[in-house]
Amino acid sequence: MHKRVLGLAVAALCCGALNSAVAEDLLQIYGEALTNDPTYAAARATWAASMETLPQARSGLLPVLSLLGIANYQDFHENLRSDPALTFAQRFPNYNYTVSASQPLYRPQNWLSFQEAKQQVSQADYILASAQQDLILRVAQAYFDVLLAQFAMEVLQSQKAAVSENLAQAQRNFEVGTATITDTNDAQAKYDQIVAQEISAQNDLDNKVATLRAIIGRTPKELKRFGGQYQPELPNPSAVEPWIDRSIRENYQVRIAQSGYDIAALEVDRQRAGHYPTLDLVASFNQGYQGATASTALTANFANDNRLGVVGVQLNVPIYQGGLVNSRVRQAIANQDAARQNLETARRSAQLLAQTSFTGVTSGVAQIKALDQALKSAQVSYDSNKLGLEVGVRTNLDVLNQQQQVYQTRFNIAQAYYNFIISALRLKQSVGALVDADVERVNRDLGG
């Protein structure tokens, strides 16, 4: 039954479809969006930047080695105002280099920074995955919006052609005296109304195409129409509670918020560690050379070559820092409280998304069945009104109104199918399970 209903709902779409080698399907559009969507590209760049926090934090646990070299030439000149006067003048080179190294032995702040960085990397993974899920939904919504807007245009054009025919028939009947001017006026009013609706529908179609263009970076070609093979199914499991329970644990926004809370808790410990002493292993080696050439008889030529090596430990005990550490601890605790509330907000939002998406899927199946029956009833009523018009018990306006009801019901069925698909994708998003394979499945099930 559902196959036949969808065939009726998208008959205009299928008739106007281009060759499949030319039309672009949902999977092709999504593939281009992965490459060209600036929002997702920014998310990828942000993720790449976040990956660098881990090696940066790890560096605080590893040795530090540095080399300092100095080379200069000194010109020394001194006059002594004595009797007799003396003058000292020397020119000599001075070379010096120092190699120093340190290895943290006890630096709790650095260790906690490393733990924070690992949480930040995990959070960045969740953020990128969430951005990809958002891209899937944006592409699907934009794709279906364009198809639905095209369907609306084609329905209005079909309706316009039918009303135009009825208007011509009413005018002919009035001219031969078998109908009143009222039928002609009613048909004219219907025709004018559809013309206005057609202008509005064209504007809506242009806007929907522009939305899709903003995602893929170009104006899309003809989109592939659906083949009428899609059958909506109830979610599995068919109860809402498992979906809600799973969303609290696996929704990506919840995972992001949980990571944010864990980072905030580590930040409290890191700031408290500002009260703790630090201990480092240090070593250095210095070598220098200094030579001089005398310019008077009172001084002699000389050269100085020296070496100095040092190995030891360095202890730093903070005693008083002007209240800075205590202030930072209080600030970190406040940020942790904010992160706790953000986590609760994310959990409630995930529950709401799971609930509304589940309802959208289940009610979508029921709505499609109801619209199936409504379309059959509307078609029967339309046929009856046409027959009644022929025998004189129905007016032309009755036929036009019922004809419009048939067109509107067909449009509502197509819209119900699109809404069902979006709700199904959002339900998977609510539990963090929306992936590229879902796009492929929808594309395949819709005959793409």
Q: How many CB atoms lie within 10 A of CB 387?
A: 12
In a domain, 236, yes or no: yes
pLDDT (tens digit per residue) in 399-433: 777 887 888 888 898 899 999 999 999 999 999 99
DSSP state of 20: T
Tokens 């242009």 locate to: 206
DSSP state of 298: T
In a domain, 355, yes or no: yes
How many whole angstroms separate alpha carbon 130 and alpha carbon 255?
10
Torsion over CA of 113, 115, 118 and 120, rounded to 10 degrees? Answer: -60
**440, 38 in Cβ contact below 8 A?**
no
* Residue 292: per-residue pLDDT: 63
Cβ burial, residue 406 (10 Å; 0-12/13-18/19+)? buried
Tokens of residue 144, six digits: 């279906």
Radius of gyration of the chain from its Cα atoms, rounded to whole angstroms: 39
Q: β-pairing, 86-106 with 64-80?
A: antiparallel
CA distances in angstroms from 23 to 35, 221, 224, 226, listed in the order given: 19, 7, 5, 11
* Residue 390: per-residue pLDDT: 78
Residue (of 384, 367, 379, 371) closest to 404 by Cα position: 379
**205, 150 in Cβ contact below 8 A?**
yes
In a domain, 285, yes or no: no
Torsion over CA of 207, 208, 212 and 217, rounded to 10 degrees? Answer: -20
Between the two ends of the chain, the Cα-to-Cα distance in Å is: 21
In a domain, 298, yes or no: no
Number of domain units in the chain: 1
Q: How many CB atoms lie within 10 A of CB 397?
A: 19
In a domain, 253, yes or no: yes
Q: Give the DSSP H or E segment for 144.
A: helix 108-176
In a domain, 142, yes or no: yes
Q: What is the pLDDT along the chain (448 residues), one digit of tens a residue?
A: 334 333 434 443 444 443 444 789 999 999 999 999 999 999 999 999 999 999 999 999 999 999 999 998 888 777 887 777 777 777 778 899 999 999 999 999 999 999 999 999 999 999 999 999 999 999 999 999 999 999 899 888 887 887 787 778 777 777 777 667 877 787 788 888 888 989 999 999 999 999 999 999 999 988 987 766 667 889 999 999 999 999 999 999 999 999 999 999 999 999 999 999 999 999 999 998 887 655 544 455 667 888 999 999 999 999 999 999 999 999 999 999 999 999 999 999 999 999 999 999 999 999 988 998 998 998 998 888 888 877 877 766 677 778 878 888 888 988 999 999 999 999 999 999 999 999 999 998 877 4
How many whole angstroms separate alpha carbon 148 and alpha carbon 414?
7
* Residue 411: per-residue pLDDT: 87
- 180 — phi, psi (to 5°)? -90, 165
pTM reported for the whole predicted model: 0.83
CATH number at 340 reads 1.20.1600.10
Tokens of residue 400, six digits: 């036009």
In a domain, 314, yes or no: no
**103, 281 in Cβ contact below 8 A?**
yes
3-state DSSP call for residue 245?
A: helix
Q: Is the peptide bond before 84 cis (omega within 30 degrees of 0)?
A: yes
Scanning 217-323, the segments in alpha helix (DSSP H) are 240-250, 252-272
Tokens 């329970």 locate to: 245
Q: How many CB atoms lie within 10 A of CB 38?
A: 10
Q: Which domain, by its residues, includes 259? A: 2-63+106-275+323-445
In a domain, 136, yes or no: yes
